[in-house]
Amino acid sequence: MSEKPLHGIMKSFIFLLPVIFYACNSKNVTLSQLKKVENQLEGLREAAMAENRIPRSITKEGNIRWIIQPYDWTEGFWPGTCWMLYQQTQDEKWKEAAIAAQKLIEHHKDLTNDHDLGFIFNNSYGKAYRITGEEQYKKVLIDASNALITRFNDAVGCIKSWDVAGNWQAERGWKFPVIIDNLMNLEMLFEASNITGDSLYRNIAITHANTTMENHFRPDGSSYHVVDYDPETGEVRSKVTAQGFADESAWARGQAWALYGYTMCYRYTKDQKYLDFAEKIADFILHHSNYPKDGVPYWDFNASDIPKAPKDASAGAIIASALIELSGYTNDKYLKNAKHILNTLSGDAYTAKPGENQHFVLMHSVSNFPSGNEVDVPLNYADYYYTEALTRWLMKRTE
């Protein structure tokens, strides 16, 4: 054998050393971040088990804010987080915590008065099924999917987000409000079709995604929060906001839901138009002049008091998780952005000191700025998507 090929191999090896080092090192960093998450959430697990309740945030007085009945769109995130920690650690205590929490919400599976069933059940029972493979969790997902599709309207081509009669939505004059967040409920419907073999759920999901693509977005790839439809004709009545700074602004978490939503639609359909759209949304977010250097957005891209406006760590975590999945279908630039966001979230500016923050991991999220509800607080869904993003990073797969 001549020396030349060996020389070539050596050269390649030396060239690859930084890449190998980076890969190993970044895996260790992610592992240590996940360990920090587990250590911090242990305190929340103990409190939740003792109270037999589901944590949501912290109160103005600094106590744990628990989920309050009759139901709450965030109630699936805590069991989902416990399932992810079980997946990573194989420690039965996390499985027990997940099961205890999701038992508290199981009876909500048949609710037909709200669209959040996907958020609630896909992230709890759905994670349970995908992580354990246990058949018992399937029925809950299918029941919740059947309840969710009762809200689909053929004329509109969407699932109604909020009921109007007797609620604050009536004061806004809405008839059939659909919010951008609703894209996230579609994942459960895609799963329901995969489980049952019945394409009904998937077809509804695709129709909703297509209608939303047509009506919810501006030419620059940003989205409105609420589109109100005429339920008889399907015509768009108005494009406005509920949780954003203004009707024409880009509410940060809404942009995050849109990015995650179309990336997820591509996962289930392999339809190129969803992937192209997800990239367009990603480019809107990442290249916006008000997108901060640290990668964690202000609560609204058009808030009037930037740079003093509160940041929203939950939006940052959702964007990071979505970008990791997107990078698997496209290219590594999104992975770099995701890692940058995760590094920021893992630093002292966003990660609480051990035992502080009522044992939630992340600080500085915004739930609903216009109503003054949960501004600059920890949120169970910020921790959920942060944990999911770290897990995705580590496992280099999407679920």
Binding site for ligand GLY (CB under 6 A): 73, 181, 243, 253
CB of 108 to ligand GLY, least distance (A): 16
CB of 243 to ligand GLY, least distance (A): 6
Residue 340, burial from CB neighbour count under 10 angstroms (0-12, 13-18, 19+): middle
Given the complex with ligand GLY, which of 116 and 325 has the nearer CB atom?
Answer: 116
CB of 301 to ligand GLY, least distance (A): 15
- Is residue 302 within 8 Å of residue 249, measured between CB atoms? yes
DSSP state of 183: G
Q: What is the dihedral of CA 43, 49, 54, 59, to 10 degrees?
A: -50
Residue 286, burial from CB neighbour count under 10 angstroms (0-12, 13-18, 19+): middle
Given the complex with ligand GLY, which of 109 and 253 has the nearer CB atom?
Answer: 253
User: Could you tell me whether strands 236-240 and 152-153 are parallel, antiparallel, or unpaired per DSSP bridges?
Assistant: unpaired
φ and ψ at 129, to 5 degrees? -65, -45
DSSP string covering 212-269, please? Answer: HHHHSB-TTS-B-SEEEE-TTT--EEEEE-SSSSSTTS-BHHHHHHHHHHHHHHHHHH
- Is residue 215 within 8 Å of residue 227, measured between CB atoms? yes
Given the complex with ligand GLY, which of 94 and 298 has the nearer CB atom?
Answer: 298
CB of 261 to ligand GLY, least distance (A): 12
How far is the C-alpha of 134 from the C-alpha of 301, rounded, in Å? Answer: 42
CB of 26 to ligand GLY, least distance (A): 29
Beta pairing partners, 58: 64
Is residue 56 helix, strand or coil? Answer: strand
Given the complex with ligand GLY, which of 34 and 209 has the nearer CB atom?
Answer: 209
Given the complex with ligand GLY, which of 97 and 240 has the nearer CB atom?
Answer: 240
CB of 181 to ligand GLY, least distance (A): 4
**Catalytic residue positions?**
116, 181
Secondary structure E strands in the chain: 55-58, 64-66, 152-153, 158-159, 177-179, 226-229, 236-240, 365-368, 373-377
- Is residue 362 within 8 Å of residue 5, measured between CB atoms? no
CB of 50 to ligand GLY, least distance (A): 28
Given the complex with ligand GLY, which of 94 and 385 has the nearer CB atom?
Answer: 385
Given the complex with ligand GLY, which of 253 and 392 has the nearer CB atom?
Answer: 253
Q: Which residue is nearest to ligand GLY (CB)?
A: 181
